[in-house]
Structure 1
């Protein structure tokens, strides 16, 4: 399992946290959002999903992946 941390702009409430975590779950990863720092810790299997696909899943929810 690979782990990474992404900075995500546009999150401001509990709904945002749920939307991002659910999108990552549906994409095949586990994500934990830290709303205060606007960061998402992600754990995923590189053989099943790419980092680019995970970024796209977050952006599809209306948030901006900064890094």
Structure 2
């Protein structure tokens, strides 16, 4: 089944403990590697990750685990 725009959710996840641009890259790559994630961007200054995803393919908890696992 094709994903339509109405199926897509956009959330902001808190990301604590980042100290440099490399941390941003690690978190972004971890999120983008999750099946069902369409886009992810991380802001070091606000310590938030903006994630667009298909909730039919990925659960919120999996996104949180990806952020935590990024180190």
The TM-score normalised by the length of structure 1 is 0.86
Q: C-alpha root-mean-square deviation of aligned residues, in Å?
A: 0.8
Structure 1 runs of 4+ off > 3 angstroms? none
Q: In terms of Rg, which structure is larger?
A: 2
Q: Which has the higher contact order (CA 8 A, sep 6+)?
A: 1
Structure 1 unaligned runs (5+)? 63-67
TM-score after normalising by structure 2: 0.81
Q: Does 1:46 align with 2:55?
A: yes
How many pairs align?
A: 62
